[in-house]
């Protein structure tokens, strides 16, 4: 039986999400149909929208169901950029950070390469926290030319939390829309869309115990980003396509439960993480917990094991039945150095010697013990492993 400590990549399906999905799959009817069957599935979809809105502190009409975080990030970034550009062609600057998820970095680079966007990256402190002085400088410098700011709420690798209300406050001086990728935040740290001042926020279902393939872009009522998908005009005409009420119901059920349990769960996993990090420090005396002094999500432990290589660590731990992760792998499966650590100022070598251990609702003390036992066994081998 393997030990799963990779909950940030995807986490276990919650029973409530499974039940909601199964029940919905028994139904028949297109939510857009005018007949009784259609009204039944529409009711389920709208009830799910209510529940999800409540879970993230948004108005129900602000929830645009979609396929997940990557779609939401693409939609928000391209949609807001295009809209802004249409209204004022001089607004071409995008501000983001080098440690964003590729679902943000890549659409931003695409806009730069193909649509004339000018991108500026906010500096980060060594611990992964945003350098607000630099952000303020960039905002003042480019002011009314800024089309969009996109900064993630919780970093998916390090778990570092960004003070989003502080970002939106700085942006409000020049009426700059702010998007946040909140995929790693939702259900793991308290977030509230209404209080955040955000224009848009991306959520993903499978990070909170729903199936992979459902998410939502929360879009402020006042905003109308351009659509990526045109068609039947569903979802405020922002995302056409037959509405997937089954997955929406499952997502809403999982999100509701995750948020309801949040306070208790944060305390529980924080305690487990503390034990984990203490045990790791015993085994690896020179371990660096990359964001230990930053405000970070309690389910995440990101560490550099100097003198090792991520792919060897992952391989050896996998051999012991322990699932963790490192930076992101390309499509062919090649693990690269963590762009997040590079963005924080670490060297290529350090960025290639890290692992991310993430806890979830199914994690207990025995998982931590199994992980530390495996690490103790493989660490000396990893130190000796010839670099590729």
Partner 1 sequence: MRVLAAMSGGVDSAVAAARAVELGHEVIGVHLALSRMPGTLRTGSRGCCTIEDSMDAQRAANKLGIPFYVWDFSERFKLDVVDDFIAEYQAGRTPNPCMRCNERIKFAALLERGLSLGFDAVCTGHYASIVDDGAGNLELHRSLAMAKDQSYVLGVLNAKQLEHSMFPLGATASKDLIRQEARDRGLSVANKPDSYDICFIPEGDTRDWLKDFVPTDPGKIVDTEGNELGEHDGHVGFTIGQRKGLRIGKPAADGKPRYVLEIRPKTKEVVVGPEAALEIAELSGARYTWCGKAPEAPEQEFACEVQVRAHGDTVKALAAVVDGELRITLVEPLYGVATGQTAVVYLGTRVLGQMTIDSTRSKVTSGV
Q: Is 67 helix (H, G, I), strand (E, B) or coil?
A: coil
- 151 or 317: whose CB is closer to partner 1? 317
CA distance 357 to 365: 14
- 130 or 374: whose CB is closer to partner 1? 374
Stretch that binds partner 1, among 54-62, 107-115, 230-238, 328-336 (CB under 8 A): 328-336
- 121 or 315: whose CB is closer to partner 1? 315
- 175 or 331: whose CB is closer to partner 1? 331
Closest CA to 150 of 190, 205, 94: 94
Buried b (16+ CB within 10 A) or exposed e, 33-53: eeeeeeebbbebbbebbebbb
- 261 or 318: whose CB is closer to partner 1? 318
CA distance 305 to 81: 40
CA angle at 378 for the pair 376 and 379, rounded to the nearest 5°: 70
- 32 or 320: whose CB is closer to partner 1? 320
Sequence-separated (6 or more) residues with CB below 8 Å from residue 111: 77, 78, 81, 94, 117, 119
* Interaction between residue 1 and partner 1 (CB under 8 A): no
Q: Write the binding mask 96 to 115 for partner 1: x where contact by CB under 8 A, - elsewhere.
A: --------------------
Minimum CB distance to partner 1, residue 279 (Å)? 23
Q: Which of 56, 323, 330, 354 is catalytic?
A: 330
Buried b (16+ CB within 10 A) or exposed e, 298-336: bbbbbbbbeebbbbbbbebbeeeebbbbbbeeeeeeebb
Closest CA to 353 of 385, 294, 306, 386: 306
CA distance 301 to 288: 10
Stretch that binds partner 1, among 8-16, 72-80, 173-181, 377-385 (CB under 8 A): 377-385
Within 330-369, which residues bind partner 1 (CB under 8 A)? Answer: 330-336
H or E stretch covering 234: none
330 flagged as catalytic: yes
Minimum CB distance to partner 1, residue 366 (Å)? 23
* Interaction between residue 384 and partner 1 (CB under 8 A): yes
Q: Write the binding mask 280 to 319 for partner 1: x where contact by CB under 8 A, - elsewhere.
A: -------------------------------xx--xx-xx
Stretch that binds partner 1, among 41-49, 63-71, 273-281, 325-333 (CB under 8 A): 325-333
Minimum CB distance to partner 1, residue 331 (Å)? 5
* Interaction between residue 329 and partner 1 (CB under 8 A): yes
CA distance 359 to 298: 8
Minimum CB distance to partner 1, residue 98 (Å)? 20
Buried b (16+ CB within 10 A) or exposed e, 347-368: eeebbbbbbbbbbbbebeeebb
Minimum CB distance to partner 1, residue 377 (Å)? 11
- 242 or 384: whose CB is closer to partner 1? 384
CA distance 323 to 235: 37
Minimum CB distance to partner 1, residue 310 (Å)? 10
Count residues binding partner 1 (CB under 8 A): 20
Minimum CB distance to partner 1, residue 321 (Å)? 11
- For 266, 327, 361, the CA distances from 367, given in Å and listed in that order, are 17, 22, 12
The footprint of partner 1 (CB under 8 A) covers 311-312, 315-316, 318-319, 329-336, 381, 384-388
Q: Among all residues, which ones are annotated catalytic?
A: 330
């Amino acid at each position: 039986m393997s030990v799963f400590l990779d909950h940030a990549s995807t986490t276990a399906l919650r029973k409530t999400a499974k039940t909601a999905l199964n029940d919905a799959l028994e139904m028949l009817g297109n939510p857009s149909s005018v007949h009784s069957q259609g009204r039944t599935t529409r009711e389920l979809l709208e009830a799910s929208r209510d529940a999800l809105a409540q879970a993230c502190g948004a108005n129900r009409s602000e929830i645009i169901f979609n396929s997940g975080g990557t779609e939401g990030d693409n939609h928000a970034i391209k949609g807001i950029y295009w809209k802004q550009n249409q209204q004022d062609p001089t607004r071409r600057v995008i501000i983001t950070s080098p440690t964003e998820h590729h679902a943000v970095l890549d659409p931003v680079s695409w806009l730069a390469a193909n649509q004339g966007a000018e991108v500026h990256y906010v500096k980060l402190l060594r611990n992964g926290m945003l350098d607000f002085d630099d952000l303020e400088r960039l905002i003042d410098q480019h002011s009314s030319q800024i089309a969009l700011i996109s900064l993630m709420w919780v970093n998916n690798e390090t778990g570092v939390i960004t003070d989003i209300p502080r970002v939106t406050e700085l942006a409000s001086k020049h009426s700059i829309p702010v998007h946040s990728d909140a995929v790693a935040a939702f259900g793991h740290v308290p977030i509230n869309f209404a209080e955040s001042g955000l224009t848009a926020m991306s959520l993903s279902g499978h990070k909170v115990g729903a199936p992979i393939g459902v998410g939502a872009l929360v879009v402020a009522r006042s905003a109308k980003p351009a659509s990526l998908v045109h068609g039947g005009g569903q979802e405020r005409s922002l995302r056409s396509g037959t509405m997937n009420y089954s997955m929406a119901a499952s997502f809403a059920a999982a999100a509701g439960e995750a948020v309801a349990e949040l306070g208790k769960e944060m305390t529980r996993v924080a305690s487990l993480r503390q034990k984990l990090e203490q045990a790791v420090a015993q085994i690896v005396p020179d371990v660096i917990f990359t964001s230990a002094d930053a405000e970070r999500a309690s389910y995440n432990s990101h560490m550099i094991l100097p003198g090792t290589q991520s792919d060897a660590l992952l391989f050896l731990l996998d051999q012991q039945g322990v699932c963790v992760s490192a930076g992101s792998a390309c499509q062919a499966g090649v693990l690269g150095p963590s762009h997040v650590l590079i963005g924080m100022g670490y060297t290529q070598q350090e960025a290639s010697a890290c692992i991310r251990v993430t806890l979830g609702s199914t994690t207990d003390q025995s998982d931590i013990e199994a992980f530390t036992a495996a690490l103790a066994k493989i660490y000396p081998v990893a130190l000796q492993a010839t670099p590729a």
